[in-house]
Structure 1
């Protein structure tokens, strides 16, 4: 079987089966940070399969590309890949995969641009609703301040960017006591420290560009859920699970969050139940094994790609 075909089969199998296996597992809610790592490794493996198949197909189809890809390699390495036996389909495969790579770059650029415009818009609204007072510091530490907005709905969110800011409404300040307010701050700071915004942008771009690829759509959905669980855990380590659970209840009370019927806010109720009825974490050895296995997944397409060349050199 030609190597590009094997890589595409491996990538397609991973894209179809891996999301089902991870979603059926019982441990992701107990270890959201580890689950995020596993999802990133799976997506990286699929992308590496496509990139490697594109490079090999292009090298087989066009001598100019082959000369650039294998420029420092001896002739024996090129012969080991047996490009002459690939057939006339290589040009089509290379072109389709290159178009997919270009489309991925376009979607990522669009996502970054939209996020930048959204941040500018929200910061402009903040400056209008909460302008700086005369003499207020505007140096490098100004981005770390908490912005308080007048509002009847209790709410708090972290505005990412080069100078991240925590925004909280006056209704939230009135409703939350000091300890629960600290828990909300710790939750939002957990998002900022882990750079969850970039993970959300990347997953959204891949799912928007390839909506029919299960691993990308599942990646987007699971990242949106897991980053909240990870931030909850970061806050609970500082303030306690009960405190962050009560803060979530008070911030979302009156929004239909705890309505027994399914709805868009059902995830908040699930987070509260998870905090109030925590399951034991995986053992350290189990976490290390899962981390190592996940890290090896993207290595498989690389090994598959380089084995013929390494064998020829040996």
Structure 2
């Protein structure tokens, strides 16, 4: 049981230390795409630790599992991982982690089902407010313009994704500001940010008392917006993108003294108007490579006893 316990300890350390280190760093706002990758690698490392610990615990507790896990391994390797008399905690650990895995999968399925229901309702509402013309087929690149007094624009993901914009937004957005808004929403679609949001929400809702999953969800919501802002600003300029954000959100009270659900908008506008210095290409590559190695660490820890046994 030494390796499963070590894996659980490693996963707990990653879950506690990584969010604190990322919260103190100043580079995530400068490089949101890299930060998204780092967060995914950290959460993947935590999940890999749990899966490997569950597998080795089950192998130590039950001979049938041990025979499948170590089917082609020499006896010395089997003894290194799963001694003949397993620890009394092996079965408990394996069952607990297995239940956690099933619960995580159930939460993800529930989140996807809810998202599909919301999308279906939204699409039905769009067809009522903006019906298809006779002979027109729904297409993925269809731009839907809705009559509305509130300036708004959003991307509706799905098999045939659609960009929706209101007439109020068309009236308020001037020049290339409309292009910047469209590029922002298209950035969400191309990067499949909806899957990141679904996965992070499933983990946070399934394990509300695990801080790393709550931080993962909150950071995904923030970083995907920053990444889409950068995509739009690279094509249409930071000033144009910032002005488009102001025009879309000015009437919602987000720039007032009272906090609102869109309180992050002023920070996004400030970031666009006073852009921080980006990291160098070498620094971005180093951060990306280091993050990619984080999920590999528990795999290496898992192989240590087997390599020693083969000596």
**Which band: TM-score by shorter chain?**
over 0.9
Report the RMSD for the aligned CA atoms in angstroms: 1.3
Residue equivalent to 1:169: 166
What are the within-5 Å matches in structure 2 for residues 46-57 of structure 1? 46-57=46-57
Matched-pair contact (CA < 8 Å) for 1:50–1:97: yes
Residue equivalent to 2:127: 127
CA distance in 2, matches of 1:82, 1:170: 66
Give yes or no for the alignment of 1:2 onto 2:7: no
Give yes or no for the alignment of 1:156 onto 2:168: no
Shift of 1:288: 1.0
Give yes or no for the alignment of 1:181 onto 2:178: yes
Shift of 1:53: 0.4
Residue equivalent to 1:194: 191
SS at match of 1:28: helix
Residue equivalent to 2:206: 209
Residue equivalent to 1:70: 70
Which stretch of structure 1 is more off in the superposition, 254-263 or 10-19? 254-263
CA distance in 2, matches of 1:80, 1:93: 18
- Unmatched 5+ residue regions in structure 2? none
Cα-to-partner distance string for 1:17-63 (whole Å, 9 max, x where unaligned): 21111011010000000000000000000000000000000000000
CA distance in 1, matches of 2:132, 2:152: 21
Residue equivalent to 1:306: 303
When the two structures are aligned, how many residues end up with a matched partner? 311
SS at match of 1:158: strand
Matched-pair contact (CA < 8 Å) for 2:19–2:215: yes
Give yes or no for the alignment of 1:118 onto 2:118: yes
Shift of 1:70: 1.1
SS at match of 1:228: helix
SS at match of 2:176: helix
CA distance in 1, matches of 2:122, 2:116: 10
Residue equivalent to 1:144: 141
Shift of 1:71: 1.2
CA distance in 1, matches of 2:161, 2:260: 30
Matched-pair contact (CA < 8 Å) for 1:2–1:86: no
SS at match of 1:131: coil
Residue equivalent to 2:258: 261
Give yes or no for the alignment of 1:90 onto 2:90: yes
The TM-score normalised by the length of structure 2 is 0.97
Matched-pair contact (CA < 8 Å) for 1:159–1:165: yes
Residue equivalent to 1:29: 29
Give yes or no for the alignment of 1:99 onto 2:96: no
Residue equivalent to 2:232: 235
Matched-pair contact (CA < 8 Å) for 2:41–2:292: yes
SS at match of 1:273: helix
Shift of 1:83: 2.7
SS at match of 1:272: helix
Residue number among 244, 248, 251 corresponding to 1:247 in the alignment: 244
- Unmatched 5+ residue regions in structure 1? none
Matched-pair contact (CA < 8 Å) for 1:158–1:164: yes
CA distance in 2, matches of 1:123, 1:154: 19
